[in-house]
Amino acid sequence: MTTASLKLVLVPIALVLALGASSCGKSEADNEPAATEGEESHGEGEGADQVTISSEAAEASQIVVSEAGPGALQETLSLTGRIMLQPAARAEIHAPYPGPVRAVQHNIGDIVSRGATLARVESSESLQTYSIVTPISGVVLDRQTNIGDVTGDAPLFVVGDLTRLQAELNVVPRDVGRVNAGQTVIIMALDGSAPTQARLASVLPTADSHSQTLVARAPVTVAGISLLRPGMAIRASVVLASEDAAIVVPANAVQTFEGRTVVFVRLGADTYEPRTVTVGRSNRDAVEITAGLTVGEAYVSQNAFLIKSQMGAAAADHH
């Protein structure tokens, strides 16, 4: 099980202050007497702080509320690499008999089916014209012939099946013992788009003479044309270990507020409060909650810092 990365949205302070009406403890309009010596100041106790944010403002600020529940804490290793075609998904197509090319029927970028005729060649020996066909379905990636050319040993066409890809990941020597066939890996473009889960099939036994890295291969089968393309640089997270926990929240859901470690809980349609929690195991992306939050409670899982900023502004106005 993987934990999705969170994207923080930086919002100007003017937008934070305009998120909606807020309250921190009681307002001056309540006409309550000031706290006397020995009494606890209102708004400093657990659960006393609340803020109201309309659903429209929360949606505009990309504040996401999720239901607390179980998850997995994963230890991952970040790698870089490149997308390539699987060996069987690439075909170099030659002319079996030398002779002049009489017709060319497909160009680079054309989608072809297995057995489709790409060109016709006249045999120099028999003077019979025969067809050059593709042994696989895919896209014409390269064409190295024109009408009138005489065929030789070089391939006339290269066809690739872009649905059968392969991630080739660079493993530095210090990590060789940690990366093994069978491990789950999350592959994505450098900008984080097109995340795809795969499984490592092999780690090549020899190192590159220049970089001294080994290559770990993970086959990827996609439906149709994917955002991942051969030759594209990628990054990947190899799952080294995974442990289940009763309640797991994104790391950015946990905030420090007034000296407490809190998660912001939604009490109603538009009311939030900081809930003091006890954290357990954690990694870069996720945190285990061992106390203070129960399964099924609604909490702010994304952009919780905006709730914190709103409550801080409301408290400053109040005091």
Asked whether the predicted pLDDT for residue 87 surpasses 70, the reply is yes
Asked whether the predicted pLDDT for residue 3 surpasses 80, the reply is no
Mean pLDDT (whole number) for 118-147: 97
Lowest mean pLDDT among 34-38, 111-115, 186-190, 290-294: 34-38
State the Cα torsion 187-191-193-197 to the nearest 10°.
10
Q: Which residue has the higher pLDDT, 317 or 87?
A: 87
Element (H, E) at 93: strand 90-93
Lowest mean pLDDT among 43-47, 70-74, 83-87, 157-161: 43-47
| CA distances for 5 relative to 35, 196, 277, angstroms | 45, 13, 22
Q: Which residue has the higher pLDDT, 247 or 223?
A: 247
> What does residue 237 show for φ and ψ, rounded to 5 degrees?
-120, 115
> What does residue 199 show for φ and ψ, rounded to 5 degrees?
-135, 135
Q: How many CB atoms lie within 10 A of CB 83?
A: 21
Asked whether the predicted pLDDT for residue 123 surpasses 80, the reply is yes
The fraction of the chain above a pLDDT of 90, given in percent, is: 67
Q: Would you state the pLDDT for residue 236?
A: 96
Q: Would you state the pLDDT for residue 49?
A: 83
Q: Would you state the pLDDT for residue 5?
A: 34
**Highest mean pLDDT out of 25-29, 30-34, 147-151, 301-305:** 147-151
Q: Would you state the pLDDT for residue 69?
A: 95
Asked whether the predicted pLDDT for residue 283 surpasses 50, the reply is yes
Q: Would you state the pLDDT for residue 301?
A: 94
Mean pLDDT (whole number) for 58-81: 93
* Pairing outcome for strands 202-203 and 214-221: antiparallel
Asked whether the predicted pLDDT for residue 102 surpasses 80, the reply is yes
Instruction: Please give the structure tokens belonging to residue 112.
Output: 């072809």
What's the mean per-residue pLDDT of the chain?
85
Lowest mean pLDDT among 38-47, 60-69, 148-157: 38-47
Q: Which residue has the higher pLDDT, 64 or 28?
A: 64
Q: Would you state the pLDDT for residue 14?
A: 36
At 318, the pLDDT band (50, 70, 90 cuts) reads low
Per-residue model confidence as pLDDT tens digits over 137-161: 999 999 999 999 999 999 999 999 9
Place of tokens 């000031």: 34
Place of tokens 């393309």: 229
Element (H, E) at 308: helix 304-318
Contact criterion met (CB below 8 Å) for 136 and 91: yes
Separation of alpha carbons 187 and 233, rounded Å: 11
CATH architecture designation of domain 13-70+246-318: Beta Barrel (2.40)
Lowest mean pLDDT among 9-13, 79-83, 150-154: 9-13
**Domain boundaries in the chain?**
13-70+246-318, 75-86+163-240, 88-160
Top-tier CATH class for 75-86+163-240: mainly beta
At 17, the pLDDT band (50, 70, 90 cuts) reads very low
Top-tier CATH class for 88-160: mainly beta
Q: Which residue has the higher pLDDT, 206 or 19?
A: 206
Asked whether the predicted pLDDT for residue 31 surpasses 70, the reply is no
Closest CA to 167 of 85, 244, 94, 99: 85
Per-residue model confidence as pLDDT tens digits over 185-229: 999 999 988 889 999 999 999 998 888 999 999 999 888 767 889
> What does residue 305 show for φ and ψ, rounded to 5 degrees?
-65, -25
Instruction: Please give the structure tokens belonging to residue 136.
Output: 């696989």
Separation of alpha carbons 83 and 44, rounded Å: 55
Beta bridge pairs of residue 165: 85, 220
Cβ contacts of 27 within 8 Å, gap of 6 or more: 318
